[in-house]
Amino acid sequence: MAVVLAGHQYGKAENRVVRFQRDTPRHEIVDLNVTSTLRGDFADAYLTGDQSKVLPTDSQKNTMYSYAKEKGVSSVEGYALDLARHFVDDVDPVHGARIDVDSYAWTRVVVDGHDHDHTWTRSGSEVRTAAVTVAGEGEAQQTHVVAGLKDFTVLKSTGSEFKDFLTDAYTTLEPTEDRVMATSLVAQWRYDATCLADGFDFDAAYDAVKRAFLTQFATLHSFALQQTLWHMGKAAIEEVPGVVEVRLAAPNKHHFLYDLARFDVPNAGEVFHADDRPYGLIQAVVARDDVPAAPLAWER
């Protein structure tokens, strides 16, 4: 028996990069949390302590901040592509890089009916995410772009039922034809190679996917969160060019009708207890069947 180093990767996690554009009196803000993960020829650092091939995580951090100025942040995906390509193409021992970006939205403060030029409030609706993976050199280089969102809380007060489910000796859940459906969605979607062409508009694609999700969530009369997720994923792929695979995870944020009958008070679906745990966790992967799987795009 021998003990081997069976895997390794390293990087700088959660760099809070805030970039302003101040060329005109109306400033712009981009607020990011960036993580690098480098893969390659680093076994000696672990096995013998030889750091000669290790680009310090501190240098990776500095590159993230400098690129925010040197290259700018045209989109979160574009910024992540610039960084991932740099580490793979310019740093010899690096054979693969993954850049994860969370992007926090800010909304301009309104003063006297006008958007303010340089004051914002953090908007709470969702965190936008991007994960870019570059692997290999030259012709054989693979590039994957996965966009996404998380903490996207949505709720509908009707148009959702859950009934006719399998029962066993432990089933106590009452079937319902009218319930609250709510979730804090985590979604990621993979683009095909068309997104690597110059001029691909990642921001427009992001908005279109989000719109497809919301339209399905709102308009589908849902028999289960499972069915809603399937329709959300399918709509994103059908409606947004370049999207080939969607991964969804939805905690079922249960709302239980509060028992007011004990006080002789009627409650026709009006007062609920919002429970935070435990929660059902419903997940789905929806993909085009004519596009090859890309496991590397999802490897953390």
Ligand X SMILES: O=c1[nH]c(=O)c2[nH]c(=O)[nH]c2[nH]1
The alpha carbon of 266 is separated from its chain's Cα centroid by a whole number of angstroms, namely 41
Q: Is 12 annotated in the active site?
A: yes
Residue of minimal Cβ distance to ligand X? 225
One-letter amino acid identity for 50?
A: D
Shortest distance in whole angstroms from residue 254 CB to ligand X: 7
Please identify, using beta-carbon distances, which residue of 6 and 166 lies nearer to ligand X.
166
Binding residues for O2: 57, 252
Please identify, using beta-carbon distances, which residue of 59 and 167 lies nearer to ligand X.
167
For residue 23, the tally of other CB atoms under 10 A from its CB is 8
Q: Is 69 annotated in the active site?
A: no
Please identify, using beta-carbon distances, which residue of 229 and 297 lies nearer to ligand X.
229
Please identify, using beta-carbon distances, which residue of 8 and 163 lies nearer to ligand X.
163
Shortest distance in whole angstroms from residue 125 CB to ligand X: 23
Burial call 249-286: b when 16+ CB within 10 Å, e when fewer: bbbbbbbebeeeeeeeeeeeeeebeeeeeeeeebebeb
The alpha carbon of 244 is separated from its chain's Cα centroid by a whole number of angstroms, namely 15
Question: Which one is catalytic: 27, 53, 57, 71?
Answer: 57
Question: Among 45, 78, 32, which residue's Cα sits nearest to residue 197?
Answer: 78
Question: Which one is catalytic: 12, 144, 253, 255?
Answer: 12
Please identify, using beta-carbon distances, which residue of 35 and 252 lies nearer to ligand X.
252
What span, in angstroms and rounded, lies between the C-alpha atoms of 154 and 176? 20
What span, in angstroms and rounded, lies between the C-alpha atoms of 189 and 287? 9
Footprint on this chain of ligand X (rule: CB under 6 A): 162, 173, 224-226, 252, 280, 282
Q: Is 183 annotated in the active site?
A: no
Shortest distance in whole angstroms from residue 165 CB to ligand X: 7
Find the distance separating the first CA and the last CA of the chain, reported in whole Å: 29
Shortest distance in whole angstroms from residue 182 CB to ligand X: 11
Shortest distance in whole angstroms from residue 39 CB to ligand X: 37
Binding residues for urate: 57-58, 162, 179, 226, 252
Binding residues: 57-58, 162, 179, 226, 252
E strand spans, the chain: 15-21, 28-40, 94-111, 114-135, 142-156, 181-191, 243-252, 255-257, 272-274, 280-287
Cβ pair 176, 268 in contact under 8 A: no
Q: Respond yes or no on whether the N-terminal peptide bond of residue 278 is cis (omega within 30° of 0).
A: yes
Cβ pair 190, 248 in contact under 8 A: no
Binding residues for 5-hydroxyisourate: 57, 162, 179, 226, 252
Question: Which one is catalytic: 144, 210, 253, 254?
Answer: 254
Please identify, using beta-carbon distances, which residue of 145 and 284 lies nearer to ligand X.
284
Shortest distance in whole angstroms from residue 269 CB to ligand X: 16
Which residues does 213 contact at the CB level (< 8 Å), separation at least 6?
152, 185, 187, 232, 235, 236
253 φ, ψ (degrees, to nearest 5): -85, 90
User: Which residues are annotated as catalytic?
Assistant: 12, 57, 254
